[in-house]
Structure 1
Amino acid sequence: MKLIKTALLAAALALPAAPASFAATPDNLLVVAQNIDDIVAIDPAQAYEFSSGELVTNVYDRLVQYDAEDPTVLAPGLAAEWQADAEARTITFTMREDATFHSGNPVRAEDVVFSFARVIKLNLTPAFILAQLGWTAENVDDMVTAEGNKVTVRYEGEFSPAFVLNVLAARPASIVDEKTVMANEADGDMGNNWLNANSAGSGPFELAAYRPGEMVRLAANPNYFKGAPKVEGVVIRHVAEAATQQLLLQSGDVDMARNLTPDQISGITAEDIKVETYPQAAVHFLSFNQKVEALQPEAVWEAARYLVNYEGMVNSFLKGQMEIHQAFWPKGFPGSYDETPYSYDPEKAKQILADAGVETPINVTLDVINSTPFTDMAQSLQASFAEAGINFEIIPGTGSQVITKYRERSHEAMLLYWGPDFMDPHSNAKAFAYNSDNSDDNYQATTTWRNAWAVPQELNEKTMQALSESDPEKRNEIYVDLQKQVQEKSPIVIMFQAAYQVAMDKDVNGYVNGATSDFVYYRLVSKD
């Protein structure tokens, strides 16, 4: 089996870079064309890029995790079961008995303790996610402990156990093989340098080779506790140009193209190629800075909701890229609110402004990232808002320029998007429904603070109530109510939820692409 696997992977790497002739990928190997030049690190304690997130998810496991069978459900991972004690602020996990690392070492409770402490002590980019639980380099050894096959996690703060579980399902909570990692430690780096070129996980795939800016090769783990993957390996070829990805797919040199443009997607006519669409967690919104007096009346906020041509955009230049969604938590996850009560109605918007005594015209600048589809969206908003006397002057800029203005609160209106750092509703509730200190010197990485919106105390309190609510159903009800209130009365107009399209050979089945890059799964893929 090992020799066959090696031969298949070698054959895939020998595929031509350009489609000089029709080819065929190996039957039991998935070959993917994808732009992966965003990868900076692949150590799960450091990995923070989109492509590295996909890699970590397929190579490592967590105590609890969203998985390929249903990426919207938090399920057992390396923990077979757990018991939460909200009053004591602890969760005790019982480790499953049938999990082994790729090295052959059994997955132990001690590996969990080591993995969590390692993230906190290295304190690299994603460490803040675990640090939310009150963990520090000084206390983490007391906050996470092992006894036999049980791991006890302690946390500080009025947190719901559901929130803690979602934190522990995030990327930096991936479990690494302590014995293998520490055998490759150098200069006290806890194996960081080695893990940025190798892997030490227990997941469905093992990292067989990684050449930055060139390719990733994954080999199936035949001993995976949920069953071996259906393909023997995955080769992800770095192909930066979408046009080249399209040619490789059409010629049969790859099985999947991950970065085709909407125009390329719409132009696919080949019967042997199919396109799958996957909702994503990012929500796109228009917001008004409350430092601008003309944008402070609530009637302006309400009218704005009827001045977005939602259907017009998703049925034309946003087709396949976004769907209408008007609440801050993405559709498809517990706690989402999926009603879309607003539609394009300029006459109603004008009446709302007139009834409130708002004088028009209102002239306002609109900052936007200077790339598609953002500039197209801005032009649509410019045309539709003008119907009610709200005139946008579009100011395009690079992503860094736009974000810098947003963080400085120096914009007037802003067209942007937001995605959660981890899949718990609090990640977005804090961004859209909480701002307890609106002062200029209290910088917060939230849409509320950046738009200088002094959130009503009722919403602040409800956001913190949801964070600490231990009953999952009640907690979700609070988040739904929060979304309704923000949807009805806020200077932030949420319009769309992003979608992601992937083109693939018609014989490829079982590919799962969840709402974020952490939810891309190859384990169930087959080539029929």
Structure 2
Amino acid sequence: MRKLIAGLVMGTALATMPLAAQAETPKNALVMAFAIDDIITLDPAQIFEFSGAEYAGNTYDRLIGFDNDDVSKIHGVIAESWDVSEDGKTFTFKIRDGIKFASGNDLTAEDAAFSLQRVILLDQSPAFILGQFGFTPENVKDKIRAVDDSTLVMEVDKPYAPSFVLYCLTAGVGAVVDKEEVLAHEVDGDLGHEWLKTNYAGSGPFKLNKWTAGESLSLTANDDYWDGAPEMKRVIIRNVKEAAAQQLLLQKGDIDIARNLEADQLAAVKDDTNIKLLSKGKGALWYLGLSQKNEYLSNPKVREALKYLVDYKGISETILAGRSQIHQGFLPEGFLGAYNENPYSLDIEKAKSLLAEAGLADGFSITMDTRNTTSIMAMAQSIQATWAQAGINLEIIPGDGKQTLTKYRARQHDIYIGRWGPDYQDPHTNASTFAWNPDNSDDATAKPLAWRNAWDAGDLTAQTDAATLERDDAKRAAMYVDLQKKVLADGPFVIMFQETEIASMRGNVNNFVLGPSFDNNYYRFVTKD
């Protein structure tokens, strides 16, 4: 089995060299321009951002993986095999022999148990992925444990569909960290968290060289990787947010891959014989989050009106040309139970009528927090223009990824425009964030998107939980369709598009992998002619 994980590398001299000075990239280095300003942390127990997840997917091994071309095929990575008890509540994993961490320490079942326990004990944003199986800080060391160096046991609280449990272990929280190395940097019982925010303790095909927030990320190859050393000995990612700048660097040969070209740039390079394009349909969704703490947005008529005030067709065909399709259900195409009907389209008069019913015929003023990248700003401006036609004064508040995410996660926004990607390939991944919110208080432990937008999902929470226990796929799919229809009708989300990712590459670059999710983009197979 080939588990795909990557890292970044960069020698000091090359790291500080201006890109414009590079005649061409080194044969054994992969150089990318990529908007990575959303990286907040490098600790896999905390990472919950797109760029950070891609980093972790290339530098840490996980217990379980899946086939990028057929996500229904689950395979072992660190766990070479597993068994499920007859009652469906105990999972026993056989840990692969011969894996070593970058430190040189052997990877054992104790490291795997510690890593999963650590996710629950630290209780960072992605902890709910494991917490939904009944693990708590009080019981996790009993429920997840190493029996010996090669055997890991995990006891869940209910007889869930086995694939649901396994898919959750394909998420970033399934990454295995070096227990000895992490605890050597523990301060005041933090399980090495502060240290691991900017350092590395994994076993993947790449190792961290250096991260400079807002500027660059570099990785070096793990030449002793158990599943084969990467040919690229360094990966260098420069934080270049402007699409035009990425295009220029790509066409000059100063970078190998541009990750964020917009419609105009893609049109400009499509006939360049030195450039080739790689595309992949992703599970990521573009959406608006509407805070229910806002007096206007808490009105269901207003929420419905806003769903008729987006030029879905225009944005998809121009701003996101070739990089999206209209999709309004919370499950992306390709997932069990995906709902592919799109009931909303731009209808100014319908929106005005709904606003009048809400007692807001003259409109109102509202703010939208927006990451200041080209396409997101363009989408926000399009929305601003169509909302103005219904009397809504939308103020756009731009910021970098870290700023906007921090504000959003603190429930301090009015409206947030963003991109949400599934954490694993089971439908519960999105149902549990768009339709599930067991505690809507500000100090809640679980903080899904429904919580971020202060929406009490009511009975949908119980319906979401019930769907995880249904083992008949047809019945389970019907349950998710029903949930999506209810969220579409009443939820605090304007879900707009499903993403198609495009990587623009120099012609000599081969085998760069774009996967179905944001953390399945892999560098380890890259070669250069």
Shared fold (TM-score, shorter chain, > 0.5): yes
| Shift, 1:321, TM fit | 4.7
8 Å contact from structure 2 (residues 299, 358) kept in 1 = no
Q: Secondary structure at the match of 2:505?
A: strand
| Shift, 1:238, TM fit | 3.0
Q: Secondary structure at the match of 2:20?
A: coil
Give me the whole-angstrom Cα distance separating, in 2, the residues matched to 1:479 and 1:12.
52
8 Å contact from structure 2 (residues 113, 146) kept in 1 = yes
| Closer, same or farther: CA 292–29 of 1 in aligned 2, 3 Å | closer
Q: Secondary structure at the match of 2:154?
A: strand
Q: CA RMSD in A?
A: 4.3
Task: Look up the equivalent residue of 2:20 and give its one-letter code.
Answer: P
| Closer, same or farther: CA 403–394 of 1 in aligned 2, 3 Å | farther
Aligned residues: 509
Query: 473-482 or 140-149: which moved more?
Result: 473-482
Give me the whole-angstrom Cα distance separating, in 2, the residues matched to 1:516 and 1:248.
26
Query: 242-251 or 305-314: which moved more?
Result: 242-251
Q: Deviations over 1:474-501 (max 9, x none)?
A: 4344223321343355464322234444
| Shift, 1:392, TM fit | 1.6
Give me the whole-angstrom Cα distance separating, in 1, the residues matched to 2:405 and 2:347.
29
Give me the whole-angstrom Cα distance separating, in 1, the residues matched to 2:446 and 2:56.
29
Give me the whole-angstrom Cα distance separating, in 1, the residues matched to 2:51 and 2:298.
39
Task: Look up the equivalent residue of 2:107 and give its one-letter code.
Answer: V
| Closer, same or farther: CA 38–395 of 1 in aligned 2, 3 Å | closer
| 1:123-522 mapped onto 2 (5 Å cutoff) | 126-148=126-148, 149-156=150-157, 159-179=160-180, 181=182, 195=196, 199-207=200-208, 209-210=209-210, 212=212, 213-221=215-223, 223-225=225-227, 227-229=228-230, 231-240=231-240, 242=242, 245-268=246-269, 270-278=272-280, 279=282, 281-285=284-288, 287=290, 289=292, 296=299, 305-344=307-346, 349=350, 361=361, 363-369=363-369, 371=372, 372-374=374-376, 376-381=378-383, 384=386, 390-398=390-398, 411=414, 414=415, 416-417=417-418, 419-420=420-421, 422-423=423-424, 424-434=426-436, 445-446=447-448, 448=450, 455=457, 457=459, 459-471=460-472, 474-488=475-489, 490=491, 492-514=493-515, 516-522=517-523
Give me the whole-angstrom Cα distance separating, in 1, the residues matched to 2:52 and 2:455.
35
Q: Secondary structure at the match of 1:479?
A: helix
8 Å contact from structure 2 (residues 117, 141) kept in 1 = yes
| Shift, 1:364, TM fit | 3.5
8 Å contact from structure 2 (residues 232, 526) kept in 1 = no
Task: Look up the equivalent residue of 2:311 and give its one-letter code.
Answer: N
Give me the whole-angstrom Cα distance separating, in 2, the residues matched to 1:450 and 1:182.
32
8 Å contact from structure 1 (residues 15, 253) kept in 2 = no
Structure 1 residues without counterparts, runs of 5 or longer: 1-7
Task: Look up the equivalent residue of 1:144 and give its one-letter code.
Answer: I
| Closer, same or farther: CA 307–193 of 1 in aligned 2, 3 Å | closer
- Scaled by the length of structure 1, the TM-score of the pair is 0.78
Structure 2 residues without counterparts, runs of 5 or longer: 1-8
Quote the sequence identity (%): 39
| Closer, same or farther: CA 306–93 of 1 in aligned 2, 3 Å | same
Show the counterpart of 1:4: none
Query: 312-321 or 302-311: which moved more?
Result: 302-311
| Shift, 1:462, TM fit | 2.0
8 Å contact from structure 1 (residues 284, 497) kept in 2 = no
| Shift, 1:171, TM fit | 1.7
8 Å contact from structure 1 (residues 218, 233) kept in 2 = yes
Give me the whole-angstrom Cα distance separating, in 2, the residues matched to 1:492 and 1:315.
22
| Shift, 1:505, TM fit | 0.7
| Closer, same or farther: CA 20–26 of 1 in aligned 2, 3 Å | closer
Show the counterpart of 1:114: 114
8 Å contact from structure 2 (residues 290, 453) kept in 1 = yes
* Larger-gyration structure (1/2): 1
Show the counterpart of 1:3: none
8 Å contact from structure 2 (residues 437, 447) kept in 1 = no
Q: Secondary structure at the match of 2:276?
A: strand
Show the counterpart of 2:6: none
Give me the whole-angstrom Cα distance separating, in 2, the residues matched to 1:294 and 1:117.
39
Give me the whole-angstrom Cα distance separating, in 2, the residues matched to 1:495 and 1:445.
22
Task: Look up the equivalent residue of 1:393 and give its one-letter code.
Answer: N
Give me the whole-angstrom Cα distance separating, in 2, the residues matched to 1:49 and 1:121.
20
Give me the whole-angstrom Cα distance separating, in 2, the residues matched to 1:103 and 1:404.
36
Give me the whole-angstrom Cα distance separating, in 1, the residues matched to 2:245 and 2:79.
43
| Shift, 1:255, TM fit | 1.0
Q: Secondary structure at the match of 2:319?
A: coil
Q: Deviations over 1:414-442 (max 9, x none)?
A: 45335257224334323333456778997
8 Å contact from structure 1 (residues 509, 525) kept in 2 = yes
Q: Deviations over 1:81-116 (max 9, x none)?
A: 323348463222222346444456553222212322
